[in-house]
Every structure is written in C-alpha cells, then in structure tokens.
Copies of this chain bind each other. A is one copy, B any other.
C-alpha cells in the first residue's frame, strides 16, 4: 500500500519480525515529508523568529507562522496558540482563562477524561475552591447525558474528550456544547485523539477551546496547540512571561502582545511547527474519512477475533468511534501479553493509559490497547491476531 511507503520506520524489524505498530493512540509515526521538512529547516533555514531582519530569520518566521495559518484554516478557528502539546494546552487554558473566569463556578469533566484533562482542573479547583462534577459513563460506555444536563447549573466550563483514548468512543460533543452554551458555560474539547481521525470545525461546532498534539497526527514531538474562539481569546490573561510575548518591559511593569504571541513566551517550537505543517499537508492529501472507515473495519475485525479468544473487549466501535481496541485476557497478565507480542514485532500499549478514573469505573487496573492509524493494514491486524492466538496457546 502506498501510504506505508511514506513511513520509513515501518521497514524496521523488531526481534527478527517486521514491526507491526499498533500503539498509535500513544503516538503516531512520521512520514518522510515531515522528517525531511525539519531536516531542511535545520540544514537550510534555521534561525530565531520574530523581529527578524536577516533572511534566515525571515524564512524561519514564515515557516513557523505558516503552521499557525494552516491550523487555523484546518480547524476553522479564530485563534491558535502554539503549546508543547495537548497537556500544556489544557494547562494554559486553566491558567490563562480559568484562573480569571471560573471564580465560584463549577467545572464539569467526564469520567472518560485523560489525566491531562483532569489534573489541571483539580489543581485549579484546589486553589480556587471550584466544585468538580463528573459526567458519569453508562454501561454502554457512553456519557450519561441526562446526568450531564442535571448537573450543568452553575458550571462555568465543560471539559470533554472528543474521542476516548482507551475506548475509542466519540462523544456527542455537539449536544454537549449546545447544553453548555444554553446554560452559560464554555466548552473545552480535548481533541488529542479526535483531531488525528477526522476534520473538526471549531467554529461550526461552536466550541470555545480545543487542545491537540502534533505527535498524534504524524507531526513531531514537542508541539501542540490550543485553539480558541475570539471571545474566549479576549478573556485570556497572560500565563508564562518572557521573551516574545511582551510589548514593553520596564523594571516594574510590562505590557503584552495582543495576538497569539501573548501566550507564547520564549523562543517558540520552530522546527516542530514546520514539521507539523508538513504533517497537515500530508494528511490533507489523504481521504481521512475513507481511512476512518477502513480503520474502523479493521478494529471491528480485531475486536471480534479477540472476543472469540475469550478476551474482554472494552469499546463499541460505532461509526464515529476511532480504531482503538482495548482488551484483557482473563488470566494472562496484560503486560506479559504485550511483552510476548513485542517478541513477535507487535507494538501495543498496556496500563492505565492515563485514564485511571475511567478504568476504575470499568473495575479494572489496565488494558492491552491496540490502536490503528492510516498506515496500518488488515494484513497487520491478521498477523496481530495470529500472534496473539499462538501466545495464548503457549502461555495461557
């Protein structure tokens, strides 16, 4: 398949077996165009950005800002603040927006959230005494929307994961936003898993903030962003201080930039932005919707096969869900299984997937998780299933 050829790492052998990389919800692999874009930056254009006079600095500035422009149009967002990743983006939202705007108001989270969308709000609540409310998960692994609606009063913010990194469940964010806005609460979407799998239109959705990471969508490590609409942007107060985010500094007082730079203190993630822009260019040339259906089919096949091996599978694999299959064997420890799979070249992740409250709700400590992305094939899925069968025969 053509896509695979674009990802050099897929040529690798692991323990004498071809790599079958099924850890995409943790991070995705990078196509050559992304690696080469960063290479080219470092070998041709590297310089510090902003207030640039010389040619290299101009090229670096244009490259860095081009990523912002692409992101804004990709997600149809008013503002795009570059961060180190989803986690930093949510922490930025909590500090820059939450500290000044959430006084005395409750924060609604879901039981399905990633730690990165829980801990920053717990920290905020600890400082300011906000009440934290959680939308519970029903037995069918969907959010209890009635409980949500019943809890909305007095809330200033609803934080919800677009797509669960453990279950692949895609949440009804449209409905969640509608209810929140009707009740005067803003909404932050954790799109770390959603953004790689489908195009999200922030302004159409009407979401107020959205956080994502480049490394989960073929981009480099070390960069992500917080997308915000204009109203929310204007409510945000500076968070980190330093170079590039100021307008003037005197010994006693500083004034700040008025655009996104206001929230990007210090030398920005230049090569990373250039790599991310290349990744978006790459993904933009694919038919993401077609890929989504193809991968979901693979996930359903895998889930069925695993169930037939007596595994418990956590997930629904509904039409909008992502291709993530979390599962457990009744006796073979998940880490042992993952180690044994690794001996056959298959990379899966185990553990709590940074979602302990969700696993607690499911009554377990961890799962084995196989997650699929654009370069994965049905043949790989079959190989994974075959290896798993062999391992169970030998070890379970």
A residues at B contact (CB < 8 Å): 8-9, 12, 14-15, 19, 21, 23, 26-27, 29-30, 34-35, 38-39, 42-48, 51, 53-57, 84-88, 90-91, 111, 114-120, 122-123, 132, 134, 213, 215, 220-223, 238, 240-246, 248-254, 265-272, 335, 338-339, 341-342, 346-351, 354, 356-357, 360
Write the chain B residue with the least CB distance to A11: B43
Contacts of A39 in B (CB 8 A): 35, 39
Of A12, A243, A338, A348, most buried by chain B (CB within 10 Å of CB) is: A243
Contacts of A51 in B (CB 8 A): 349-351
Write the nearest CB–CB distance from A236 to chain B, whole angstroms.
Answer: 14
Contacts of A223 in B (CB 8 A): 222
Write the nearest CB–CB distance from A88 to chain B, whole angstroms.
Answer: 6
> Does B47 lie within 8 Å of A91, measured CB to CB?
no
Write the nearest CB–CB distance from A233 to chain B, whole angstroms.
Answer: 19
Of A45, A222, A250, A271, most buried by chain B (CB within 10 Å of CB) is: A222
> Does B14 lie within 8 Å of A56, measured CB to CB?
yes
- Pick from B132, B220, B342: contact of A53, CB under 8 Å: B342
A55-B15 contact given A91-B265, A240-B91, CB 8 Å threshold: yes
Instruction: Give CA–CA (A142, B47) in the complex, Å.
Output: 30
Contacts of A253 in B (CB 8 A): 122
> Does A357 lie within 8 Å of B249, measured CB to CB?
yes
Write the nearest CB–CB distance from A273 to chain B, whole angstroms.
Answer: 9
- Pick from B44, B118, B339, B349: contact of A9, CB under 8 Å: B44
A55-B244 contact given A265-B88, A269-B222, CB 8 Å threshold: no
Instruction: Give CA–CA (A248, B357) in the complex, Å.
Output: 9
Contacts of A244 in B (CB 8 A): 354
A46-B26 contact given A241-B123, A347-B55, CB 8 Å threshold: no
> Does A14 lie within 8 Å of B55, measured CB to CB?
yes
> Does A120 lie within 8 Å of B35, measured CB to CB?
no
Contacts of A341 in B (CB 8 A): 54
Write the nearest CB–CB distance from A12 to chain B, whole angstroms.
Answer: 6
* A-B CB contact pairs (8 Å), 7 listed: A27-B267, A54-B342, A54-B348, A57-B347, A85-B267, A115-B243, A118-B251
Write the nearest CB–CB distance from A223 to chain B, whole angstroms.
Answer: 7
> Does A42 lie within 8 Å of B30, measured CB to CB?
yes
Contacts of A54 in B (CB 8 A): 14, 23, 338, 341-342, 346-349
